[in-house]
Amino acid sequence: MIGTTLDTLRKKDLYRERVVWDKNLKDFASNDYLGLSQRTKSLEKATQKVLNYGVVSPKASMLVNGYHNIHRELEFYLARMNRFESSILVGSGFLANIALIESLVRKDCMLFIDSQYHASGILATKLIKDRFVIFEHNNPESLVDKLDEYPDKKAIIAIEGVYSMSGDLARRDIFDIATCYDALLIVDEAHSSGVIGDRLLGIFDYYDIDITPNHIKMGTLGKAYGSYGAYILASKEIISFLENRAKPIIYSTSLSLLDTSLALTNLLHINENLSHYRKTIKHQIHLIEKFLNIKKESLIVPIEAESNEAVIEIQKFMASKGFLVGAIRQPTVSKPLIRVIPNLSNSPSDFYDLSLYLRFSIPPQYKLDL
């Protein structure tokens, strides 16, 4: 049965495998938005911080004896920086979404989740049986229609700050709707934290939204923040509830001390150089419009392709020219696309060359509409 499934995936150009890409390729595929994966000074500082404690691994779950001063320091900093009451670290963004949805959506609740919410959130809905409704992507009217169908349920809404495949920013109206309906609002800021907003803190910062007890922010440490892991920001009451009810928090070993220390080091570095990063991101968005003729407010640039075969072949072609781009296929997206994500190590000449290849040099049978 497994072999048959793999054969089917190959025939449909949906087969996936791990690849160690040439490190010399110009990276337009990763989530390393600020280019911090190459900042070795941060690793040196983070390593020294861990060595100073004499304990180099978390040893156990947070609720046994795996909670460390480094964890507490990062949690405090994240909460204060984002103006939330409290925070808790989680092993990954995937686990954070499962923790939130599986624990918060009780029998008297209904989850209203965007149709393009991350796969971890969609998977989590399988754990809450029939206590969820999917609304049309980034559509406030669809959300209101769905909310009105369940007036007796405590509403929980789940959206992303910047959607990982489309690069869309969450609509401001949805925040107001959550307030109007007294709903908890979960905002997955994995692709918006470190990228948008005056202080590069994400969508709450971008819209200058005052944080209230109905707001929950989840973010990752492995994208713009150049490390690994995730965090949840919320009221003290909600964080306490998660400590007592969220299985991925209770039953998982604590986040690696080195990853925690690296994230904290990078966050401090970003804040110390905020004007530089803000200016460079703005310039990158300008280059996207100038060379690819695509207007975006985030750094995620999706380009639809004709077929799964096309995205695979385009990715191979671009790699042969020295560029790595994302080849995204089902079930991640409904239509296959080339996803271009610049990071701050990409130069204007990189953008120019990338655009020339994508616009004019792709083999004719795979040509993109640019």
All residues at 6 or more sequence positions from 255 whose CB lies less than 8 Å from its CB, including other chains: 58, 71, 89, 90, 91, 228, 229
Closest residue by Cα to residue 314 from 350, 340, 280, 287: 340
CA distance 274 to 98: 32
Q: Per-residue pLDDT for 192 more than 90?
A: yes
DSSP readout, 206-271?
A: HTTPPP-TTEEEEEESSSTTSS--EEEEE-HHHHHHHHHH-HHHHSSBPPPHHHHHHHHHHHHHHH
- Whether the full predicted model's pTM is greater than 0.85, yes or no, is yes
All residues at 6 or more sequence positions from 7 whose CB lies less than 8 Å from its CB, including other chains: none
Q: How many CA atoms lie within 13 A of 2 on its CB side?
A: 0
Report the percent of the chain where pLDDT is more than 90. 94
pLDDT at 27: 96
Q: What is the pLDDT of residues 4-52, one digit of tens each?
A: 999 999 999 899 999 999 999 999 999 999 999 999 999 999 999 999 9
Mean pLDDT of the region 329-342: 92
Domains of the chain are 11-39+274-366 (3.90.1150.10), 52-271 (3.40.640.10)
In Å, what is the CA distance from 273 to each residue of 32, 266, 267, 270, 342? 17, 10, 10, 5, 19
| Pair of tokens at residue 367 | 């040509």
Q: Per-residue pLDDT for 345 more than 90?
A: no
Mean pLDDT of the region 326-335: 91
**Cβ atoms within 10 Å of 169's Cβ, excluding its own:** 19
CB burial of residue 157 (10 Å; 0-12, 13-18, 19+): buried
Strands 184-188 and 154-160: parallel
In Å, what is the CA distance from 103 to each residue of 18, 247, 270? 33, 8, 33
Q: Per-residue pLDDT for 370 more than 90?
A: no
Strands 154-160 and 109-114: parallel
Q: Quick check: 158 and 117 in contact, CB under 8 A?
A: yes
| Pair of tokens at residue 250 | 């209770």
CB burial of residue 15 (10 Å; 0-12, 13-18, 19+): middle
Residue 197, classed as helix, strand or coil, is coil
- Give the burial string for 281-320 (b: 16+ CB within 10 Å, else e): beebbebbeebbeeebebbbbbbebeebebbbbbbebbbe
Q: Per-residue pLDDT for 369 more than 90?
A: no
pLDDT at 1: 86
Instruction: Tell the residue number behind the tokens 């995205």, with chain if given.
Output: 311
